[in-house]
Chain A
């Protein structure tokens, strides 16, 4: 495939030039020209008002589609506890399997009490379960080898894993080994009804743009999925499925975990599980302003979040940070106080059910995503809101 400019249609208006992220389009004799810097990213397609830019297929683009069937979810566990994202993946996987008319399998490494049965109750038809001690703890090489071998043997068409420290570390090794595509940190997964390909949507450029990624020819199509974006399927305690024991014969690892140190701050846990989050940004004005937010949070039984701006100012520790470089949260109510709504923050909280924005600037972008917006000063609004909520709750 390559990108072509029709010189007859081109008017030399330069619109395409500014659309190219790689500086790969230049004006040559008053017409746009694609240079060898072109990365084939397609950003320029559709920009041209004259329709002079198009992609041209080549014979080498034609590849036979790989074979496979079934949707797989890698169910991550640490210390014998299955990660929440694994249940979310089963929810997403159940939906995709339904659309494809196929079944859903989970893969579980390491001994987890009632783990395999639980995965079935959360939606899996089948669980490949390796309870060997050699995979009880996460190590990249044995995990990658075992999962790659299972994929090679059973040929699923889709493999999903959590975009966690573990998933994002070892799943790429499998993609490399099997020469198939892997899309990182997806926030939406759909099936293209015509091609049956998986449409994988993910943020890029720090969340400033979204991209839909395809893996059209090779199987499986693999994706890591951002935690707290997908919804778990319905839990059914009477659901039946098949548990297939698997052995990790060659669990050779050149890395070894010497020691594991848990540093879960209470806040991190609270943010992840919070029903309500009260978050503050630069507009809160300082530590005094945050004290008001803490009172509101107290009245609501909420956790405290923050934008990067407030953290950079030193008003509140980093562990409260929500956004691209902080935590991703999905509470029922997110109250954004003095947060302008930079996209880097929004990607970390946009899946909240209800977003309440309080900001003195009526033009702040946060209002574009807010369910309810109030224009006003934090120092005035927050104490009043706290009082009214206490009254409404009869406190």
Chain B
């Protein structure tokens, strides 16, 4: 069983802010982490290897410093780590990212591909399903439990808006996973040692035999026009006075608007 886990190095978004005066990101001192959903994908891959056997490869596309995320994955126990990096990938939207990762998976080979539901920086949840389409593979999104894995069949639970579906899929398959799936393990000391000296496999656009017109900005149908801070409402009214006075005022306002 060959398992590939797609991971992404992301800024810890809880700390990313926008400067309302300049409309630019303020990211001074914001640490980079493995996308939290991807940690659950890594854990799922390691658990599948423990029961069904096989090899787990962590795959990431990003700048050279994304290697740190791969080393963390190795410390958790993955067998191989692949960094797909090239200047040509700059400006990739989800389409171009999925295309590039698909080319990398074709290069590596995979029976099961695991991705986090979405990355916390972009929050699109699109790359996984798009990859599955490029790879001509079925996919199941929002997997909250893996019930059964064999060489040609997998049974999982898919979280829906109103409950969950038990879904059976042919293998090869791509799964995107939610946080309910598992609790990611901590790196072992042995894993940390291994991570330090592990060789990271690097692949460029040329290695992937990718179509240049489908990469990076050129291959991306969407563009970011601008970014801005979420708008603050301006019609605020602070109610002052004693607690009783302000509450009387509030109840009066609500009654006037026929809200009571």
Contacts and interface: CB of A to CB of B under 8 A. Distances in A.
B16 interface: yes
B181 interface: no
B106 interface: no
A375 B245 CA distance: 12
Contacts of B123: 184-185, 203-206
A44 B233 contact: no
Given A215-B221, A376-B243, A258 B27 contact: no
Contacts of B92: 39
B243 A384 contact: yes
Q: Which secondary structure dominates where chain B touches chain A?
A: mixed
Interface stretch (A94-102, A103-111, A126-134, A362-370): A362-370
A233 interface: no
A380 interface: yes
Contact of B16 (A176, A206, A333, A374): A206
Contacts of A78: 162
Nearest to A182: B126
Contacts of B128: 172
A259 B156 CA distance: 11
A250 to B, nearest CB: 14
B254 A333 contact: yes
Given A206-B16, A262-B162, A389-B260, A173 B236 contact: no
A21 B166 contact: no
Given A258-B167, A333-B254, A371 B236 contact: yes
Interface stretch (B70-78, B132-140, B183-191, B201-209): B132-140
A381 B249 CA distance: 13
Contact of A180 (B23, B167, B221, B259): B221
Given A212-B224, A213-B223, A261 B166 contact: yes
Nearest to B259: A333
Contacts of B18: 208-209
A375 B129 CA distance: 47
Interface string B45-82: 00000000000000000011100000000000000000
B150 interface: no
B65 A209 contact: no
Interface in A201-223: 203-218
B14 A172 contact: no
Interface residues of B, number: 96
Contacts of A393: 260
Contacts of B160: 165-166, 260
Interface string B244-260: 10111011011101011
Q: Which secondary structure dominates where chain A touches chain B?
A: mixed
Contacts of B243: 374, 376, 380-381, 384
A206 B134 CA distance: 28
A132 B25 CA distance: 49
B182 interface: no
A87 interface: no
Contact of B233 (A141, A213, A369): A369
Given A175-B95, A177-B133, A37 B167 contact: no
B225 A367 contact: no
A264 B223 contact: no
Contact of B222 (A21, A169, A183): A183
Contact of B22 (A19, A185, A212, A300): A19
Chain A interface category by residue count = 35 or more
B38 interface: no
A184 B255 contact: no
B27 A18 contact: yes
Contacts of B94: 172, 175, 182, 184
Given A176-B131, A371-B237, 20 more contacts: A19-B25, A42-B224, A43-B227, A140-B141, A165-B161, A169-B139, A174-B133, A175-B94, A176-B130, A176-B133, A210-B230, A213-B223, A254-B138, A255-B140, A264-B163, A350-B230, A372-B238, A374-B247, A376-B246, A389-B260
Interface of B: 11, 13-14, 16-19, 22-28, 63-65, 87, 90-95, 98-99, 120-134, 137-142, 155, 158-170, 173, 217-218, 220-233, 235-239, 243-244, 246-248, 250-251, 253-255, 257, 259-260
Interface of A: 1, 15, 18-24, 36-44, 46-47, 60, 78, 140-141, 144, 164-166, 168-170, 172-177, 179-185, 199, 203-218, 253-264, 276, 300, 332-333, 343-344, 346-347, 350, 354-356, 367-376, 380-381, 384-385, 388-389, 392-393
